[in-house]
Amino acid sequence: MSSEPRVDAVENDAELLRQVAAGDLEALGQLYDRYFPAVLAFCRRAAGQDAEDLAQETFLTAVRAAPNYDGREICRPWLLGIAARCVLHKRRSFARFQALLQRFANGSAAVDQRDPDLTRRLEQALAELPAAKRVVVILAEAEGLTGEEIAKQLGIPVGTVWTRLYHAKRQLRGLLGEEWT
Amino acid sequence: MKSCESLWQTEALLEGRLSGKALRAAERHLASCTRCRTHVDQAAQIRQGMQQLGGGAPSELDLARGRQRLLAAANQHLRRPGPRASRRKLILAAALFLVAAVLWVRLQAKLPFPHETAEYSVQIEASADAEYARSAPAQRELVNLEQGELKVSVLHGTGERTLLVRTPDLEIEDQGTVFSVRVENRKTLFVRVEEGRVALRGAGPRPVLIEAGDTWSRPTEVSERASTPEPALKERAAPAPVAPAATSASSATAPPAATSVTSNAHPSATPTPASADSDFEVAMQAFRAGSWSRAAQLFSAFEAQHPRSKRAEDAAYLRVVALQRAGQTAQMKSAADAYLSRYPKGFRSKEVRALSASK
């Protein structure tokens, strides 16, 4: 089994996933090359230190789910949906652990609102969010998925997506500081 | 800064949920509302910050390692049988187990299979002079006995079917037994149960249950069948009241030729009861006639003469009962002790203990 990508790469994600469903490991390798960075980035935002394991798990899950792929040309939202479900399934102590560490270190609130680095504050604030809301807000804000796409990939109603998104953003702004509310 | 009352509209605009007139109205509002514009700018910062949280792209080496790891794991997964195959095997195993369980239950219960009929579950041995007919109305095996003797064996596990033997004057319903019945001159002479029990109807106002080892005899006809020892038994039973009882076996409805208990008037080659059987029957006659003292003596004599008879235990028990009914308490308790010492785990030990403990 070669780790080199095939010369004749498959353009269409749907065709690629059909080959993956048929047990073609080369096609799986192509899928990995194409989307692993995006999936890894999502997992880093949503789960922190378990990101690489979650990203691997996402692609293994995709192999099992490939026969049921709906045939769209771009499978990125589908993969991100799988990754989100992996994150939710894990429900690791990322948020609690980080918050606990933060409180232990600061002796105060989980988000250091005096920190000028917004990215760091944002990371802390995301860790405070419940996993269900965190995943939705990252998919919407960072990954650019529409509410309908998020609803489809997570298997929840669209109204639930908007509700979670509303509360997640409100909570994030509150954690970031008064000037954000 | 206090948020604008139309912030919801701005949020909806950012999330792409507006179109047409609502979209244009939200855009107009945004152009004129400082607070909402600030809100939009902050949203953009948050979005940018989240995107930065994703970290940089993995190195080529990390990608290659990850790729190899993934393909190795996927290869293992593809080699394993899928959940559908495992499920099929499980269903097949469950089906086989169910079939085996059903077969085992049927064998244990000896349930009849569809090809078996009631004929195979009832065995009849008929005397040479027997005249009888069998039929099988729904859920019942019917035997009409006009003449002669039948020995009927009903096998267990026949399900709902029951056996009924009809004689000209009686009806005998099997309740899971081996029994014999004899008819002469359109009269049932006796019904003898070897195993199980039968219910006898027509001999009195209520059905009579005949247990294993018991014999029901028509008093007049039985006296005709008595064997040689019987006159001796009758002579031992000297008291006047019992003599009429012995002969009362031939009283009432019996024809005149019923006074002799020894002769068996029947000329045909029918099986004659052994002496033990006839002695027992004589004792039973006295018992049924309510001659308790005589019955007790006869049962005592039976035990002495036939200690190894299969009815010896019955005789010992019935002697206890007869003495109890005769009001001879001391003798009854003595007889009960004798029964229990000889048959500590006897079929009637429980009843004997109860009788002994009474009064």
Over the stretch B225-243, which tens digit does the pLDDT of each residue have?
Answer: 444 333 333 333 334 343 3
Query: B115-150: per-residue pLDDT in tens?
Result: 445 444 678 888 888 888 888 766 677 888 988 888
Cβ atoms of B175 and B156 within 8 Å: the answer is no
Band of residue A164 on the pLDDT scale cut at 50, 70, 90: very high
CB contact under 8 A, A56 and B73: yes
Residue of B nearest to A59 (CA): B70
HSE of B1 in the Cβ direction (CA atoms, 13 Å)? 15
Tell me, yes or no, if A36 comes closer than 8 A to chain B by beta carbon.
yes
Interface of A with B in 44-73 (CB under 8 A): 44-45, 52, 55-56, 59-60, 63-64
The closest alpha carbon to A28, from B177, B153, B236, B78, belongs to B78
The pLDDT assigned to B230 comes to: 38
Q: Which helix (H) or strand (E) holds B236?
A: helix B229-236
Nearest to A142 among B47, B58, B67 (CB): B47
Residues of A in contact with B70 (CB under 8 A): 28-29, 32, 56, 59-60
The closest alpha carbon to A47, from B119, B54, B112, B103, belongs to B54
Residues paired with B123 in a beta bridge: B153
CB contact under 8 A, A36 and B63: yes
Band of residue B112 on the pLDDT scale cut at 50, 70, 90: low
CB contact under 8 A, A44 and B53: yes
Which residue matches tokens 């004057």? B169
Q: How far is CA B303 from CA B236, B275, B297, B309, B338, in A?
A: 15, 13, 10, 8, 11
Residue of A nearest to B83 (CA): A64
Band of residue B168 on the pLDDT scale cut at 50, 70, 90: confident
| Mean pLDDT across A44-71 | 90
Band of residue B165 on the pLDDT scale cut at 50, 70, 90: confident
Residue of B nearest to A30 (CA): B67
Q: What are the φ and ψ backbone dihedral angles of B59, each rounded to 5 degrees?
A: -70, 165
CB contact under 8 A, A36 and B58: yes
Residues paired with B199 in a beta bridge: B173, B209
Using H for helix, E for strand and C for coil, what is the string for B28-96?
HHHHHCHHHHHHHHHHHHHHHHHHHHCCCCCCHHHHHHHHHHHHHHHHHHHHCCCHHHHHHHHHHHHHH
The number of residues making up chain B comes to: 359
Q: How many CB atoms lie within 10 A of CB B105?
A: 10
CB contact under 8 A, A126 and B53: yes
CB contact under 8 A, B63 and A123: no
Band of residue A41 on the pLDDT scale cut at 50, 70, 90: very high
Q: Tell which wins on pLDDT, A47 or B227.
A: A47
Domain positions in chain A: 9-92, 105-180
Interface of A with B in 83-142 (CB under 8 A): 118-119, 122-123, 126, 137-138, 140-142
Band of residue B160 on the pLDDT scale cut at 50, 70, 90: low
| Mean pLDDT across A79-96 | 79
The pLDDT assigned to B153 comes to: 85
The pLDDT assigned to B115 comes to: 41
| Mean pLDDT across B259-275 | 41
CATH architecture of A9-92: Orthogonal Bundle (1.10)
Domain pair A9-92 / A105-180, same fold: no
Cβ atoms of A61 and A80 within 8 Å: the answer is no
Band of residue B111 on the pLDDT scale cut at 50, 70, 90: low
Cβ atoms of B310 and B302 within 8 Å: the answer is no
Residues of A in contact with B2 (CB under 8 A): none
The pLDDT assigned to B346 comes to: 86
Query: A10-19: per-residue pLDDT in tens?
Result: 678 999 999 9
In whole angstroms, what is the distance from residue A154 CA to residue A135 CA? 10
Cβ atoms of B207 and B239 within 8 Å: the answer is no
The pLDDT assigned to B274 comes to: 59
pLDDT at residue B202 tops 90 = no
Q: Which long-range contacts (CB under 8 A, 24 or more apart) does A18-27 make?
A: A18/A66, A18/A69, A20/A62, A20/A63, A20/A66, A21/A66, A21/A67, A21/A69, A23/B78, A25/A1, A25/B71, A25/B74, A25/B75, A25/B78, A26/A2
CATH architecture of A105-180: Orthogonal Bundle (1.10)
